Structure 1
Amino acid sequence: MNPENPSENAGEDPRENASSNPGQEPLRNTAEGHAGAAARPKAIVVIAVVVALEAAALLLAAAWYGTQLLTGAPVLSFWGAIFTLCLLLAFSVWLFAVARFLLRGFRWPRAGALVAQLFVLTIGFPTLTGGYPLAGLAMLVPAVITIVLLFDKRVIAFASRAAGAPPAL
């Protein structure tokens, strides 16, 4: 690699040029292709697990809601109920994607995880104060922990991969 003009080698794989860089070790891929990255922090795993569990809870809610629709539970608007079911499924898929790509070190899932936790907080506080303290705490505690961990400097440093990096799929 020519240090005077790095644009000459812009499209090349740095591992291929390892022989032309004596004394320098080639970049190793860590964290599923995140070249040159540090090891995955435990906080990323905690955040991804919380988000994946929230996605699973939404999937279970969608399954329950769907079975209620199939068994003939009364609804005001059938198409409104179908729309709600589709929203539950879409949000669940989105949260699973956020968890997966956060583990891979991408930048965009941090914002998605934060927004999801803010939604959980808006549901958790009324649940807590509305007479369901255990359910409210079950929503609030993981959401607060996740929000705090999202702003940890190791999480920010790890999850900084831009979308222009090597293909994700």
Structure 2
Amino acid sequence: MSRPSENPSGPDENPADGRANGPAAVPPVRPAGILVVAVIVALEASALLAAAAWYGSQLLTGAPVLSFWGAVFTLGLLLAFSAWLFAVARFLFRGYRWPRAGALVAQLFVLTIGFPTLTGGYPLAGLAMLLPAVIAIVLLFDKRVITFASRAGGVPPTL
């Protein structure tokens, strides 16, 4: 036998994520930081996709490579990482929890490439990599972004 709720007029709690799902439920407000980080990650994914397209066209036109299958593997890595970053941007924008770690790791990778590029004689390319990465890292640790991006995937459907 089940007990009635203590406040029958209040909204029901969803046990999957703890949010109210009754008539008084309001969707959380998306902070601007989420939009900025999602756009930065999507632009990085687009840059990787463009690099993969250029790399693939060079591979098809017969540019000299040491190992053909190594070049094909590199092309596959570029495409896979681009698809992964697009997924991170999409699900971060929707407020899921797991893309925050993926976005942080991607920004750390960009920092490890951007800093040597900046100090190696290509200051504009280095700054173009470093500034968005630093902005994204700072915004990923903003309290409003963490609060918004804390949704779990939910419970699996039952039979």
CA distance in 2, matches of 1:111, 1:91: 15
Q: 1:113 aligns with which of 103, 123, 136?
A: 103
Give CA deviations for 1:66-118 in whole Å, capped at 9, x if unaligned. Answer: 00000000001000000000000000000000000001100000000000000
Q: Which amino acid aligns with 1:78?
A: F
Q: 1:26 aligns with which of 13, 24, 27?
A: 24
Match of 1:147 in 2: 137
Q: Shift in Å at residue 27 of structure 1?
A: 1.9
Q: 1:101 aligns with which of 72, 78, 91?
A: 91
Give CA deviations for 1:110-169 in whole Å, capped at 9, x if unaligned. Answer: 0000000000000000100110000000000000000000000000000000122689xx
Q: Which amino acid aligns with 1:44?
A: I
Q: Secondary structure at the match of 2:126?
A: helix
Q: How do residues 131-142 of structure 1 correspond to structure 2 at under 5 angstroms?
A: 131-142=121-132
Q: Which amino acid aligns with 2:35?
A: V
Q: CA RMSD in A?
A: 2.1
CA distance in 2, matches of 1:131, 1:69: 27
Unaligned runs of 5+ in 2: 7-13
State the aligned residue count: 145
CA distance in 2, matches of 1:129, 1:3: 64
- The question of 1:60 aligning with 2:50 is answered yes
Q: Which amino acid aligns with 1:109?
A: P
- 139 and 10 in structure 1: CA distance in 2 versus 1, 3 angstrom threshold: closer
- 108 and 10 in structure 1: CA distance in 2 versus 1, 3 angstrom threshold: closer
Q: Secondary structure at the match of 2:46?
A: helix
TM-score, normalization: structure 2? 0.85
Q: 1:125 aligns with which of 96, 112, 115?
A: 115
Match of 1:90 in 2: 80
Q: Secondary structure at the match of 1:162?
A: coil
- 165 and 26 in structure 1: CA distance in 2 versus 1, 3 angstrom threshold: farther
CA distance in 1, matches of 2:131, 2:87: 22
Q: Which amino acid aligns with 1:145?
A: I
Q: Which amino acid aligns with 2:142?
A: D
Say which structure, 1 or 2, has more relative contact order (CA 8 Å, 6+ apart).
2
